[in-house]
């Protein structure tokens, strides 16, 4: 009975993980600024419909343009602009599964690296995060006779999973 409860708890956590939207601060602690590597930043995450991008920057020193691919490649924000943001704390919900391209249209910033693109997937699709040598070490596997499962928690999904675990333990 105990193993069945643990297995059921694991399944619920896996399904809840896909139901929780993530909020991503662009550039992490470096925020939307010159000097950050946004290409590397965007590759660290898997983006799903319902996620939100938060661009934090000093208003007037930067801006955010959502653009088409050709504008992204040329860094010329005079055409191909889908939306502009200039508040210094822009929140953009990713509403569709598609590729999004973003640039800073302040002179020289895009060509200096303030641009990135992401490929947003449906919220229920399986997203596997790539592992690199710089990532956290992989924990050793559980003993052969164990029903333990390894699950990586991030963001709100940890708290949702914790609440779900508490509810299941009451059953």
Tokens of 80: 């191909």
What does the pLDDT profile of the chain (171 residues) look like in tens digits?
Answer: 567 666 655 555 555 544 578 999 999 999 999 989 999 999 999 999 999 999 999 999 999 999 999 999 999 999 999 999 999 999 999 999 999 999 999 999 999 999 999 999 998 655 544 444 444 444 444 444 444 443 444 454 555 555 555 655 565
Report the C-alpha gap between 124 and 26 in whole angstroms: 23
Tell me the C-alpha distance between 44 and 90, whole Å. 21
Ranges of beta strands (E only) in 17-68 are 23-25, 52-56, 64-67
Instruction: Say yes or no: 16 and 85 in one domain.
Output: no
Q: How far is CA 36 from CA 33, 85, 115, in A?
A: 6, 19, 10
Please report whether residue 110 resides in a domain. Answer: yes
Domain stops at, among 122, 138, 163: 122
- pTM confidence score: 0.64
pLDDT of residue 9: 58
**Could you say which DSSP state residue 108 is in?**
T
> Considering the domain boundaries, does residue 142 fall inside one?
no
Tell me the DSSP string of 11-26: HHHHHHHHHS--EEET
**Pair 164, 103 in one domain:** no
Please tell me the predicted confidence (pLDDT) of residue 51: 96
Distance of CA 132 to the CA centre of its chain: 17
Q: Do residues 4 and 26 share a domain?
A: no
Distance CA 9, CA 161 (A): 9
Domain identity same for 171 and 161: yes
- Together in a domain, 36 and 58: yes
The Cα–Cα gap between 171 and 161 comes to 16
Q: Which range of residues forms the domain containing residue 164?
A: 1-21+148-171
Here the CATH number for the domain that contains residue 40 is: 2.60.40.420
Q: Are residues 112 and 156 in the same domain?
A: no
Give the pLDDT confidence score for residue 165 in this predicted structure: 58
**How would you classify the pairing of strands 52-56 and 23-25?**
parallel
- pLDDT for the residue 139: 46
pLDDT at position 125 is 55
- Judgement on whether residues 86 and 28 belong to the same structural domain of the protein: yes
User: Do 62 and 117 fall into the same domain?
Assistant: yes
Q: Does residue 129 belong to any structural domain of this protein?
A: no
For residues 134 and 145, give the distance between their C-alpha atoms in angstroms, rounded to a whole number: 31
């Amino acid at each position: 009975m105990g193993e069945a409860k643990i297995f059921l708890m694991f399944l619920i956590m896996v399904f809840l993980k896909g139901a929780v939207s993530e909020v991503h601060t662009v550039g992490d602690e470096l925020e939307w600024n010159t000097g950050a590597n946004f290409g590397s930043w965007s590759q660290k995450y898997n983006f799903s419909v319902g996620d939100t991008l938060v661009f934090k920057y000093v208003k007037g020193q930067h801006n955010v343009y959502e653009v088409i691919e050709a504008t992204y490649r040329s860094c010329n924000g005079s055409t191909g602009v889908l939306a502009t943001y200039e508040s210094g704390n822009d929140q953009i919900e990713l509403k569709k599964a598609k590729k999004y391209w973003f640039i800073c249209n302040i002179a020289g910033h895009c060509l200096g690296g303030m641009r990135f693109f992401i490929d947003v997937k449906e919220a229920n699709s399986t997203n596997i995060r790539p592992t690199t040598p710089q990532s956290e070490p992989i924990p050793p596997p559980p003993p052969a006779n164990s029903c333990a499962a390894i699950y990586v928690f991030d963001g709100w999904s940890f708290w949702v999973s914790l609440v779900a675990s508490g509810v299941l333990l009451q059953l």
